[in-house]
Structure 1
Amino acid sequence: MTALNVIDAGPEHAEQVVDVIHRSFGVRQALDPPSTAMDETVESVRRVLAGPGGLLVQRRDHPMGALLFDESRDGLLGLRRVAVDPDLQDRGVASAMVGVAEDTAEERGKDGIWLHVREELPETVQFWTRRFYHPVRQDGPLIEFAKTLWLSREVPTPDLMKDLARRVGRLLNPGDLLVLSGDLGAGKTTFTQGLGDALAVRGPITSPTFVLAREHPSLVDGPNLVHVDAYRLGAAAELDDIDLDAAAANAITVVEWGDGMAEQLNDSWLHVRIEVRGPRPIDPLGTKHEGEVEPEPGEDDAPRVVTIKPRGTRWAGVPLRSTVLADSTDD
């Protein structure tokens, strides 16, 4: 099968783009109020393509899909007139466009993406929901969906790990959940120490392996930090036994080794994955033995790569990338 070609559409592609938009929106069910997509002209599309731009999907030079960009909101890239040729559905055209649109948002330094979806089109709502776009507000039949882009960054030292965590800490609100994963000694506790600095909680923050959970009270009348180690828990049900619900609503909860278990604590969370790039001086199986204290990063020279992925409505529209990736001279 010939591969799809997703290109940055310029003014010279206006006729093809408006043709795809008209064919796509022209076969949709009658809506009240009706869509304004059919009002688009070659001239109106050309103006957009000369400014914010758009995308055009082709196969063998045949136009299959298109969308227009909207840069009217600071830090966000809007998607408009997302259209696929009605005779070419179910061929991955829309998914290909969304993937390139997210890459474009990242390249332009945006924090995320927003778009409007009609509630009368449940299949369209489902399409965006499956791709981790979340409804953030509604105006009549228009549902606004948003998605915050994830990020990945190399962190070569423990001090920079703490600095990155302090930046994340600026975005946290009472009730937020962070799920930390990574090999033994990757730096999960060091990351949590940086969060503790940002939240100004009582320390010291150490691995809570043998108490499972430890609460650090705020020193500035802010949220407490609940630090959980789920390494020895066998199932999500065992996490319930710790009885975190009472504290979680008003605290920041950080769960190490919480993949597949801690997500039940909240419908929104940040997943923080810390990977070690290079040889490790510890057990290659990453096994935490009884009586073993997790080593701190810095005992080896291998850099860490931290990947942060937001999940859930709470993180839609949050300036995650611009806050975490800001130049340190901006502090």
Structure 2
Amino acid sequence: MTDDLNVRRIGPESAATVLEIVREAFGSRPPLDPPADALTETEASIATRLALGGGLLARLDGEPVGALILDAVGDAVYLRRFGVLAAARGRGVAGALIQAASEAAVGKPWLRVVAREELPATVAFWTRRGFVQTDRRSPYVELVRPVPSFYEVATPEDMRALGARVATSLRPGDLVVLTGDLGAGKTTFTQGLGLGLGVAGAVTSPTFVIAREHRSDRGGPELVHVDAYRLGGAAELDDLDLDTSLADAVTVVEWGEGLAEDLADSRLQIRITRMTSGADGDDPGGDDHDPRLVEILKLGPRWATT
């Protein structure tokens, strides 16, 4: 049976529930000196924080299992008092909270978190989710991740134009991981990347050859275009020996989520979704009745300050 997981925005009316989650989540961690600030929270202090910036509450099968407080400071939104109940860990709650926080932070370019250096597993948790350390003031470690950008795309021409714009920010060694259903427009987006990079030859789906290489006509990086749809796992991706060209090329992996992340320590993660049901085929519909939503997330140290 599939878990019913949902995350919603909350205010001070949920202070008691958030406090309960914070106390359980932070209380289960190893003792710290000085103790975690979260353990000094009261219902009144949580209510004040929620009144100022709001928060997020995750429910699993109707039960509250995770929460965080949103704290806008300058050009960033800090994720405060991030906690997931022990019984709900490993069931997608943390990822859902982070995704919802990214959506709530639209208008701010950065998400930030503060972790304790005595808890390396916690620091590693944030690092695995694309956060990069930007400051360390013992015993605190600050990490940052860009907020995704969202684009509504109505036509194949618009999708190619978006790909061409993204290409202007790419350089040799960059990895682009493309995700989207069949017909979402992944290859169309890659064609735009090819246009922006000035590569030779038509960019088509590499489904049956797994990978194609396109050289630039103007001295720029090659475009290596990989289709991971038929690959059985990360090991088969490794067998393609892509690391021999990664440093000199822009590598695009369609269907790469969950497979290609270890190819580089940074990546552009791009998700394309239909905003309405549309026709089959790899191009977006030819009119504004089948638009796509393109989410672009910059992950890793390559993108930490750009």
TM range (shorter): 0.5 to 0.7
In structure 2, how many angstroms separate the alpha carbons of the residues matched to 1:204 and 1:215? 6
Q: Does 1:192 align with 2:190?
A: yes
Query: What are the equivalent positions in structure 2 for 1:119-198 lying under 5 Å apart?
Result: 119-125=117-123, 127-128=125-126, 132-139=129-136, 140-148=138-146, 155-180=153-178, 188=186, 190-198=188-196
RMSD between aligned residues: 4.9
Query: What are the equivalent positions in structure 2 for 1:1-331 lying under 5 Å apart?
Result: 8-14=9-15, 17-18=18-19, 20-22=21-23, 24-26=25-27, 28-56=29-57, 66-74=67-75, 76-83=76-83, 89-92=86-89, 96=93, 99-100=96-97, 102-109=99-106, 110=108, 113-125=111-123, 127-128=125-126, 132-139=129-136, 140-148=138-146, 155-180=153-178, 188=186, 190-198=188-196, 201-207=197-203, 212-216=212-216, 218=218, 224-230=220-226, 235-236=236-237, 239-240=240-241, 243-245=244-246, 247-248=248-249, 252-254=250-252, 265-272=263-270, 278-280=278-280, 297=283, 303=290, 305=292, 307-308=294-295, 310=297, 312-314=299-301
AA paired with 2:88? Answer: R
Q: Structure 1 residues 159, 33: closer, same or farther in 2, change over 3 A?
A: same
In structure 2, how many angstroms separate the alpha carbons of the residues matched to 1:93 and 1:264? 21
SS of the residue corresponding to residue 71 of structure 1 reads strand
**TM-score, normalized by length of structure 1?**
0.62
**TM-score, normalized by length of structure 2?**
0.66
AA paired with 1:36? Answer: D
SS of the residue corresponding to residue 206 of structure 1 reads coil
Deviation at 1:241, TM superposition (A): 7.5
In structure 2, how many angstroms separate the alpha carbons of the residues matched to 1:5 and 1:274? 21
Give the length in aligned residue pairs.
291
SS of the residue corresponding to residue 90 of structure 1 reads helix
Bigger shift: 169-178 or 271-280?
271-280
Q: Structure 1 residues 217, 47: closer, same or farther in 2, change over 3 A?
A: farther
CA contact (8 A) 2:144 2:304 kept: yes
SS of the residue corresponding to residue 124 of structure 1 reads helix
Q: Structure 1 residues 176, 306: closer, same or farther in 2, change over 3 A?
A: farther
Deviation at 1:91, TM superposition (A): 2.9
Deviation at 1:68, TM superposition (A): 1.8
Deviation at 1:306, TM superposition (A): 6.0
CA contact (8 A) 2:146 2:299 kept: no
In structure 2, how many angstroms separate the alpha carbons of the residues matched to 1:178 and 1:104? 23
Bigger shift: 32-41 or 143-152?
143-152
Percent of aligned pairs with the same residue?
36
CA contact (8 A) 2:132 2:304 kept: no
SS of the residue corresponding to residue 51 of structure 1 reads helix
AA paired with 1:113? Answer: L
Larger radius of gyration: 1
Stretches of structure 2 lacking an aligned partner (at least 5 in a row): none
Stretches of structure 1 lacking an aligned partner (at least 5 in a row): 282-295, 320-331
Deviation at 1:64, TM superposition (A): 6.0
AA paired with 1:161? Answer: M
Bigger shift: 183-192 or 154-163?
183-192
CA contact (8 A) 2:71 2:80 kept: yes
SS of the residue corresponding to residue 248 of structure 2 reads helix
Instruction: Report Cα offsets for 1:128-170 as digits up to 9, x if no partner.
Output: 456x243433413333344445577663322201222134235
In structure 2, how many angstroms separate the alpha carbons of the residues matched to 1:4 and 1:241? 37
Aligned to 1:327: none
Deviation at 1:228, TM superposition (A): 2.5
CA contact (8 A) 2:173 2:246 kept: no
Instruction: Report Cα offsets for 1:104-145 as digits up to 9, x if no partner.
Output: 531442555321222322443455456x24343341333334
CA contact (8 A) 2:173 2:251 kept: yes
Instruction: Report Cα offsets for 1:282-312 as digits up to 9, x if no partner.
Output: xxxxxxxxxxxxxx94897794746556475
In structure 2, how many angstroms separate the alpha carbons of the residues matched to 1:7 and 1:257? 29
In structure 1, how many angstroms separate the alpha carbons of the residues matched to 2:7 and 2:245? 47
In structure 2, how many angstroms separate the alpha carbons of the residues matched to 1:6 and 1:90? 17
In structure 2, how many angstroms separate the alpha carbons of the residues matched to 1:31 and 1:38? 11
AA paired with 2:167? Answer: G
Deviation at 1:46, TM superposition (A): 3.0
CA contact (8 A) 2:172 2:221 kept: no
